[in-house]
Amino acid sequence: MEILDAIPIHLDTEQVLKELHLNERRDQFDVVHKLVESANSIVHPKAIYEMSYVDNKNEDTVDIGGIRFTSRVLRVNLDKVGKVFPFIITIGKELEDRIASFDNLLEQYYLDEIGNVALGLIGNYLKEHLEREYRMGQTSSMYPGMGDLQDWPITQQTQLFSLFGNVEALIGVKLTPSLLMIPRKSESGIYFPTEVKFTSCQICSRERCKERQAPYDEDLAESYRSK
């Protein structure tokens, strides 16, 4: 098990404006820039990951680190994979505390979206770290409950967290009885090596999703059902 608690990310105002679909009008720039600078001072990125071995691959289940996960898509993606990297990342709770202290709803929204950008930067850092340190080549990832996929439901967060023990004590993230993570700007999933790049968006038919990273591929979605 490895913990990364000195992750060097830096939020950039222009990047945040792009994510918010705002132009660089001086009034917008000044507000967002002030919030970005504030976020840079209070975001505390942390990540935990574990190199785990894959075993007992059945029709729609697979064991990872001795824990059974139920997902046909995950099982198919790991068909030729021997080891994977379960992970949990977070920006910490300080940004959420700052958001709660604001009365301006627009600034609350901006700061919340800035938190999403920060979480994405942490995920990119961890991905590059794993590829470099373990010479993994190309990697893809899956997340319990991502999008509208029912194949790997959010209920499997419990199994994923169990791989690490007391995650709250380790990096300050806890799982609520309703299976949400606190702090909210946290993410859990599994990185795995792959020859063909995969994203869950490719087999998710939900329209108008602002987090979509790739177009829906009906043929690919059908192939997972037939493998």
Complete domains list, the chain, with CATH? 2-51+87-196 (3.40.109.40)
* 196 Cβ contact list (under 8 Å, min separation 6): none
Lookup result for tokens 């059974």 = 68
Alpha helices (H) along the chain: 13-19, 26-42, 72-77, 94-100, 105-133, 157-162, 167-171, 218-226
pTM of full prediction above 0.75: yes
**Locus of tokens 């950039």:** 12
Given a cut of 80, whether residue 148 has pLDDT beyond it is no
Q: How confident is the model at residue 15 (pLDDT cuts 50, 70, 90)?
A: confident
User: Band of the pLDDT at 136, cuts 50, 70, 90?
Assistant: confident
Interval 160-170: pLDDT, tens: 999 999 999 99
Higher pLDDT, 179 or 200: 179
Amino acid identity, position 57: K
Instruction: Look at residue 6 in the predicted model and tell me its pLDDT.
Output: 87
User: Distance between CA atoms of 109 and 111, rounded to whole angstroms?
Assistant: 5
pLDDT tens readout for residues 100-129: 998 889 899 999 999 999 999 999 999 999
Burial 94-128, CB ≥16 within 10 A → b, else e: ebbebbeeeeeeebbebbebbbbbbbbbbbebbbe
Distances in whole angstroms, Cα of residue 86 to Cα of each of 73, 91, 116, 226 = 16, 18, 20, 26
Q: Which residue has the higher pLDDT, 220 or 78?
A: 78
pLDDT of the residue at 201: 65
Higher pLDDT, 22 or 81: 81
pLDDT of amino acid 25: 66
- Higher pLDDT: 6 or 68? It is 68
Q: Which of 2-6, 37-41, 211-215 has the lowest mean pLDDT?
A: 211-215
- Position 38 pLDDT exceeds 90: yes
Contact 140, 42 (CB under 8 A): no
**In 10 A of CB 225, how many CB atoms?**
11
188-206: string of b/e by CB count within 10 Å (b at 16+)?
A: bbbbbbbeeebbbbbbbee
Closest listed residue to residue 43, CA positions, set 135, 106, 125, 134: 125
